[in-house]
Amino acid sequence: MSNEKDPATKKSSLLSRRVFVAAAAATAGVAAAPSAFAKKTKMDTPNISCGDPSEVSIDIRVCAPGGTGATGLPAGFSLQWMTKADFDANGGWISSDNPALCKASFSGNANLSRYNLGAGQCVTVKVGEFLFDSGASTNCGEALECDTEYVFRAFGHATSSLNRSDFTSNLLCSTLPCNEGGESCTFTQGYWKNHVVDADSNPIWPVNSLTLGTVNYDQTQLLSIFNTPAAGNGLIALAHQLIAAKLNVENGADPTDAQQAIADADALIGGLIIPPVGNGFLKPSVTSSLTEALTDYNEGATGPGHCN
């Protein structure tokens, strides 16, 4: 009996071997390079860096990593911070659940939020003098301490398909040295909002009314404006800093470095009535440069310096 297979059988056997070898090679290729096909399970970790400081605040720049397959930060991010002295005394971070830890959340899901970052996009937040626009909240809204080093870290918020990111590496940033400004110094808008009278009910505000644009507001109305979050309305954010700047000038602060910004802000506001007193509105892109100039004056980055 012959041991040779007929041609059809030989062809079928050869084809089977080729299919098996090809399948094995493909399987080996996948096993050899799993990272090329790995599915992401968490958001990309943000990048954070120090921006401009004042005596009472520090700008923190938050960026979503770019590149192919980057997740962005569509749901926003959170910041945490401690003084470097407290960080060292504690031997590192205190628990995120501890109410003593300073935290701020910047939601990308809120209406008109500027914190829903695409891949490669960045945003700057001012820690110590927060702009409480749509999506921003914190348990530490007070001013930072002058001449003080702080430790920051951040993480990206989870989405419906990806878990929250890892924490960033620790970032060290410092406020500006304390400036003994004397009677000519300035206070922040947060100070004026929370210091209307002293412990004996004596008035701290130097005046009981101010004109913003061409409209006059009494103290009750000014306080209601102070207590209204900007929520995407640049007019409100500008008004917060304009009220503070005018109170500082009325209180005796040297107005030289703020005069032009105050005049320009009044001209821009004109007859608009600021919420919640009215329903005036300006886009943040229109007001941001003036808001920043007045913030710098009130915080002591420009002008006579912040009152300590």
Where helices occur in the chain by DSSP H, the ranges are 7-32, 84-90, 189-194, 219-226, 234-250, 259-269, 284-299
Structure confidence at residue 224 (pLDDT): 97
Are residues 82 and 117 both part of a single domain?
Answer: yes
Q: Is residue 21 part of a domain?
A: no
Low-confidence ranges of the chain (pLDDT < 50): 1-5, 7-34, 36
Structure confidence at residue 182 (pLDDT): 57
Are residues 190 and 118 both part of a single domain?
Answer: no
Q: Which residues pair with 47 in a beta bridge?
A: 63
b/e 110-132 (16+ beta carbons within 10 angstroms → b): beebbbbbebeeebebbbbbbbb
Q: Which residue has the tokens 């412990």?
A: 199
Containing structural domain, residue 55: 47-174
Are residues 169 and 220 both part of a single domain?
Answer: no
Summarize pLDDT for 218-268 with one digit per residue, the tens. 999 999 999 998 878 999 999 999 999 999 999 999 999 999 999 999 999
Q: Is there a contact between 93 and 121 (Cβ–Cβ < 8 Å)?
A: no
Q: Is residue 95 part of a domain?
A: yes
The residue out of 151, 174, 197 marking a domain boundary is 174
Structure confidence at residue 54 (pLDDT): 86
Are residues 170 and 190 both part of a single domain?
Answer: no
Are residues 163 and 214 both part of a single domain?
Answer: no
Structure confidence at residue 11 (pLDDT): 46
Q: Is residue 113 part of a domain?
A: yes
| Rounded Cα distance, 257 and 255, in Å | 6
Are residues 164 and 218 both part of a single domain?
Answer: no
Structure confidence at residue 38 (pLDDT): 66
The residue out of 174, 199, 232 marking a domain boundary is 174
Q: Beta-carbon neighbour count of residue 237 at 10 Å?
A: 26
Q: Is residue 98 part of a domain?
A: yes
Dihedral sign for Cα atoms in the order 82, 83, 84, 87: negative
Q: Is residue 7 part of a domain?
A: no
Q: Is residue 18 part of a domain?
A: no
| Rounded Cα distance, 215 and 167, in Å | 47
User: 264 is written with which tokens?
Assistant: 């320009």
pTM: 0.71
For position 87, which CATH number holds? 2.60.40.10
Q: Is residue 140 part of a domain?
A: yes
| Rounded Cα distance, 61 and 152, in Å | 11
In angstroms, what CA-CA distances link 143 with 58, 178, 262?
Answer: 10, 13, 23
Q: How many domains does the chain have?
A: 2
